[in-house]
Structure formats: C-alpha cells, structure tokens
Structure 1
Amino acid sequence: MNFEPFDTGLVIERLKALVPDLRKVGGAADYAAVQELRGFATPSAFVIFAGESGGGTGPRGARVQPAVTRFGLALAVTNYRPGAGDQLGDELRKYIGLTRSALIGWVPPIPGATALVWEAGEVMDYDHSTVLYVESYQLNHLLQK
C-alpha cells in the first residue's frame, strides 16, 4: 500500500484473461509504437493511463487520500465497411461488448477501489482495413501509506 498511481497493468491482465480472442493487449508504449492504422494487429486493445485527481469518495487524512483515476482503452479491429467509419461494424461491436463486459463493474484488487465505470467511447480514426475506437473509464481508489 502506497501513494503510487493506479496500475493499468491490472486492466491489461484482466483483458488478456477474459477476452482471449484479442491478438494483442498492451499499454501506452505498445500503442505509441504503431505508426499508422494498418500497423495495428487486429483485433487488439491498448490500455492508456489518462490521469488522476483528488476528490474521490473515501476517508481523508495525512495517511489516506481518495483518488479518481481515468484510463483509455483503444480498440483496433478490422474495418469491413470502407468509408463508413461512422457506422459500427459487426466485429467492432463484438469487441466493444467483450471488453465492456470484462471491465464495467469490475473492482480491481487495490485498496478502496470502486467498480470501474464506463464514461464514453468514439471512433477516432479509420481506413479501408482498420478502425480505431477509444473508450474512457474511471474508478475511485485510495492512496495510502
């Protein structure tokens, strides 16, 4: 127990365990290594730490501080609908559903954690072979000594 930020590796491990059809599940460094849409192995998911703030629910004091953590989940899947990035294809809907099922309501094994809450999702980019869809999630937890 310490004051370290939330470990997004816990989310990566959960996705690997519960969504085995994903060819790759990685973090921010893996995501940043891809230079163009067709460089993504599809289907794949990337968990990216977005930030923390104070003000979460829970006890407060010099040894315990509540925190709100946000992270993003980028999904790269095959796009079978050329030029139709505003429509969600069957494969994209499938992986959105599988990853949401794995994450929404899950309580990570850390002090004071609340269930993960979905915030938003949107198509970020697409071409004739790949679509990139990004969702955001949040949870409350405790920073404590």
Structure 2
Amino acid sequence: MNFEPFDTSLIVQRLREQVPELQFVGGAADYAAVKELSSFRPPSAYVVFAEETNTGKFPAAPGVCIQSCTTQIGVVLALRHYREQRGDQMQQEARQLVGAVRVALIGHKPASHGASPVSWVSGKVLDYDAGVLLFADLYQLHNTLHKDGPQACAR
C-alpha cells in the first residue's frame, strides 16, 4: 500500500454490486462534473473521500512502517424529489434507497489490508430542487497505512 489513502473505488464497487436500483455509481470526479441539480440522473450515488486522521495508536516517528487512521467517506445520493403538499423532503422511494445504501455499507469490510468494517456517522439533506434531492451520508472505517515489502521497516 505504501501509505496511500483508502481506495474509495472499493465502496463504489460495493454499491454497484449491492444496490441495483441505482442507475449510476461514480466517484468524486463524477460528482464534481455535475454543475446543476437538474443534471443529476436520479437515482445515482457518488462516493467521495472525506478525510483521514491519525488515531494515535501507532507513533508517527522516523522508521515507522505502520500507521493507524480513521478514514471518512461521503456517499452523496441524487434521488427523485417530488414537491409534496405536506412539505416532506423525502418520499418513500428515496428513503428506501438511502436504506439500501446503508444496508450495503454498514458492517461491510472492504478488501483492503488493515481495513475495519464500515460504520455510519451521519446523514443529511444537502439540497433539493429541479426534481432532485441530494442526500449525503458520512461513513467511517479504521484503516492501517503500511509500507510494503520485507525491507520497508528497515529504511
């Protein structure tokens, strides 16, 4: 791994496999390319790297070959939004898709050396207009950064 950030494509792959109701699952570049809400193709999901922080479990000092971190990943869902007379922000279909994504990710252990199962942190509505509701969930996992190879720790 060589101290690389967590590979979010593992989360993209999981959503593609486990939530067939999503028309599109992409990454941060796909999300950044959309300039207005009406351009999203609901229902779709975008996996974005949020943050990595040192857990302090392993020292950050010269010669360290392993480092523990907490990785946070955002999943932004573009869902159909129907303006309702009652003022609800999410209809049943949208709630079910949020739930399906959570079922796919919560407790899932990505195939990455040293990664723990994914846990849910928070969720919120980001925006809604033009028939599209943007809903974001924040997930986290613990990950181990490490140098590769038997000679890595000797350097």
**Pair in the same fold by TM > 0.5:** yes
Identity of aligned residues (%): 47
Q: Structure 1 pair 80/102, CA: closer, same or farther in 2 (3 Å)? A: same
Residues 85 and 125, structure 1, Cα contact 8 Å, conserved in 2: no
Paired residue secondary structure (1:16): helix
Residues 12 and 47, structure 2, Cα contact 8 Å, conserved in 1: yes
1:33 is matched with which residue?
33
Paired residue secondary structure (1:95): helix
- Count of aligned positions: 144
Q: Which runs of 5+ in 2 are unaligned?
A: 148-155
What amino acid is aligned across from residue 109 of structure 1 in structure 2?
A
Residues 81 and 128, structure 1, Cα contact 8 Å, conserved in 2: no
- For 1:35-73, what per-residue CA distance to the aligned partner results, in whole angstroms no more than 9, with x for missing partners? 11110011000000011111165x557111101111100
Q: Structure 1 pair 39/60, CA: closer, same or farther in 2 (3 Å)? A: same
What amino acid is aligned across from residue 103 of structure 2 in structure 1?
S
What amino acid is aligned across from residue 34 of structure 2 in structure 1?
V
1:4 is matched with which residue?
4
Structure of higher CA gyration radius: 2
Measured in 2, the distance between the counterparts of 1:84 and 1:67 equals: 44
TM norm structure 2: 0.86
Shift of 1:109: 1.2
Bigger mean CA deviation after superposition, 134-143 or 119-128: 119-128
Paired residue secondary structure (1:110): coil
C-alpha RMSD of matched pairs (Å): 1.8
Superposed, 1:1-145 pairs within 5 Å as 1-55=1-55, 62-82=64-84, 87-145=89-147
Bigger mean CA deviation after superposition, 87-96 or 13-22: 87-96
Shift of 1:94: 1.0
Shift of 1:111: 1.8
